[in-house]
Structure 1
Amino acid sequence: MRSVRLFVHVAFALAILLLRPALALDALPSWNDGAAKQAIIAFVSRVTAEGGAEFVKPEDRIAVFDNDGTLWTEWPAYSQLFFALDRVKALAPKHPKWRKKQPFKAALENDFKTLAAGGEKTALRLVTATHAGNTPQEFQATVAQWLATAIHPFFKRRYDELVYQPMLELLSYLRANGFKTYIVSGGGSEFIRTFAERVYGVPPDMVIGSTIVTKFVVKDGEPMLLREPRVNFIDDKAGKPVGINEYLGRRPIAAFGNSDGDFEMLQWTTAGKGARFGLIVHHDDAQREAAYDRKSAVGRLNRGLDEAQARGWIVVSMKNDWKSVFPKPGP
């Protein structure tokens, strides 16, 4: 009889563990056991507890993630900008005037001071000039080839290896608990779609990003889409909630970013009714990645730091909250 009671108790305990949000075996092993990790787990527990006051139906469990600086490194420059610079060099033989014309001249000469001085306008000019004149499939094939061979100039690893291990775990943890995870990035949507499913587990139709004008054409009797060297939509700052609404038609309940470019996305997400969650990744780890925030030319975080506490957003310290930053290199 005693053995029967013992069996019942063990079975009951196992059932409780299995019914809890995907937590029992620590789904976030690269996170230190601090306030940030506890806040994530507590939020997921509340919105997945059926019958609870803050229960959210699975179809409404939408989480949106910025990409650059939130899911992979953006330091000392955005990865897509490095891609654009490499494309300038690859395409230069077809454009001899670029050798004397800015910003292409600076790109060919690795004149990063001139490029940085040009700011966003220069970056957009390089991107539109090097990303167009092809179909989405052709462009993605070019990106895939670049990702397979290009090495980051500072970290000396492939760009798609410079993703944040704690955030990969967070994406999986949320999906295991019925969340739909979307990428909402100022980077190009076709650029990110090339690797998002393989690297993040996020399929192409769940990527919202900046776009260039794309036209339907019939060429040699074949219908196709052709990318033109003109900006269509910039999915950054106030554009992020607009893009989310246009693509999804729903307001997320959780948003994750790292810079003031994500401020409006977090602001709009957490202003909704019911349980809400906002999180900012703070780059304060100069030893394992980089330390930058208020005065940075890339991923500037100023207003977010000032207002996060009042708005109830979690600020994650890469230095203190993450056991590791990047996945371990493969064999």
Structure 2
Amino acid sequence: MPSITPLPGTCAPDAVDAWHATVVRAHRHDLPGVPEPHRAETAARMRVPAPRSEQVLLRSAAPAFAGVAAVRLFTDPANREVARLCRLTVDPEHRRRGHGVALLAAVRATCEAAGRRTVTALVDADGPGAAFGRAHGFHLALPLTGYVLDLPDVVPPADAAAPGAGPDQAAELPPGHTLTTWDGPVPPRHAAAFAEVRRAMAQAPTGRRAERPPDWDVAAVRELATVCRRRGQSLRTVAIIAPDGAVAAYTEVVLPTSDAPRARQSDTGVAPAHRGRGLGRAVQWHMVRLLRAHHPELRQLVAVVADENAPARAVAAALGYRVERRLGLFEARVEDLPAAPGTAGRAG
């Protein structure tokens, strides 16, 4: 079995270059037609862990960086026994030589050392990652779909043709409701209300899976913005404020770099008491207007939606999103993953 070596969190530039080269070669092979990640985005993810997490980076030793893996170890109480396999990538030229299994065995050892019992992974449902995962202990826990919105081609849907309903004007709002936007951290006057609606959105469909949504308090909301800033990303939020000061609806977009052609819709939510009034679509139309006005370099906005989340899928269709690829959140018991030779457990 190939040897696996951990990487320090403060990765040297040459290590980032080698890691990114492996990622790009695999991306071009597995996802032709999908824009590849920018090096700056790869470096940011390698050096700055996700919110409320620690991170372990692994690579094949010989050939160096023939395969790479990133493991997220959650630190929030609800996910203390869960890890996320954020990446397991093998260079196409070095596949079927044991690098993937060796990396997965190292992931198992990492999880066991951290007291994790379950590991999850987001992969393309029809790609080699899904087949590899199923062959080594993973099962599909939550079907998802990746959507893309071509920003230059966006036009208002037929049922939003009234003045103010398209992407270049804010949709009409219920009386007393107002639109607001911010970049980076939530303003203090909206922090508590924003955390409250985020907690409510934790009830969105998640399937039967071990990984639980974060406990969205004010500190967690602010930490997300801090992580984006440390990664060199821009976090932009559009929200609708109800007359009582509650956040009735919101949408967030992450711009990975200043010149990236794609932005990622991080989250969209409508408070339970305000659903059924078109507010989810309103905040997203307003976000499209802002992105087109202030970020002309952006060509596409991407989003991932659970297949069972019918309201979110309906909004995506109304805005003009198209399906790009099928995804899945896969899950495995750590004890079912391949074990390194000479250790207890099932051999890979």
TM-score w.r.t. length of structure 2: 0.28
* Greater Rg over alpha carbons, structure: 1
If each structure's helix is expressed as a fraction of its own residues, which one has the higher value?
1
TM-score (norm 1): 0.29
The structure where strand makes up a greater share of residues is 2
